[in-house]
Amino acid sequence: MTVLTGILIGLATGIVFGFVLEKSRVFEPGIIVGQMQLRSFIMLKVFLAAVITGLLALAVMHGAFGVKLSLKPLVWQADIIGGLVLGAGIALAGACPGTSLAQIGAGYRDAWFVVLGGIAGAVFYGYFDASITAYFAEKGAKVTFAELAGYPFWMVSTGLAVVLAGALVVLERMVPWRHEVGANVDGVLPADATPDHEPTPGATRRA
């Protein structure tokens, strides 16, 4: 494939991705910090809905048509230490690497500094990649839960999709998403009102 074709496919994919990140409000610092403080669950809802859809798409693509997976290796120390540092950065940024670009598109100015810092962090890592991977000295196998369990991929992925979908139904009953977006759709809720202290449905109807 030519680089130009890749860029055109990437732009089309990214525009749809960015459009729905903005529509779902999941790119909002208020939603991401709110998720980390368990005051809002919109990030988890978007995340799990995307995972469930991906699980079902791959159950068909990989399970039935043999489309090759694109797995990352299990490297315990790197996954845990890297994940912790990444999470700390996400909380401080109120963004993840992808949503920081959505914040720029939507107009948040501080997101430009997140992206600049991100480029600096990626370059810093690049210079030390050889020493960091040598320090961890992990070989890392590309392993799935289906292989661990000894069942076919499609069976485990479909089963997990059903379980996660059930969890989302319960979560949405407990915390309806319309109560979490906030009046200015930025996830900033009245200071005294957590989503679980919203008026009851009856009270909303009277108002």
Residue ranges in 70-99 that form contacts with other proteins under rule CB under 8 A = 70-76, 78-99
Q: Rule CB under 8 A: which of 178-197 touch other proteins?
A: 181, 184-188, 191
Cα distance between residue 115 and residue 104, in whole Å:
9
- Supply the minimum distance, in Å, between the C-beta of residue 63 and other proteins: 11
Considering only residues 12 through 31, tell me which ones interact with other proteins, judged by CB under 8 A: 12-30
Q: Which residues of 116-126 are buried (b: 16+ CB within 10 A; e: fewer)?
A: eebeeeeeeee
Tell me how far, at minimum, the Cβ of 197 lies from other proteins, in Å: 13
Helix (H, G, I), strand (E, B) or coil at 142: coil
Q: Based on the shown chain and the rule CB under 8 A, indicate whether residue 58 belongs to the binding site for other proteins.
A: yes
Closest Cα to residue 49, out of 14, 16, 24, 29? Answer: 24
From the CB of 110, what's the least distance to other proteins, in Å?
4
**Nearer to other proteins among residue 16 and residue 162 (C-beta):** 16
**Is position 53 an interface residue for other proteins (rule: CB under 8 A)?**
yes
| 148 C-beta neighbours (distance < 10 Å), count | 9
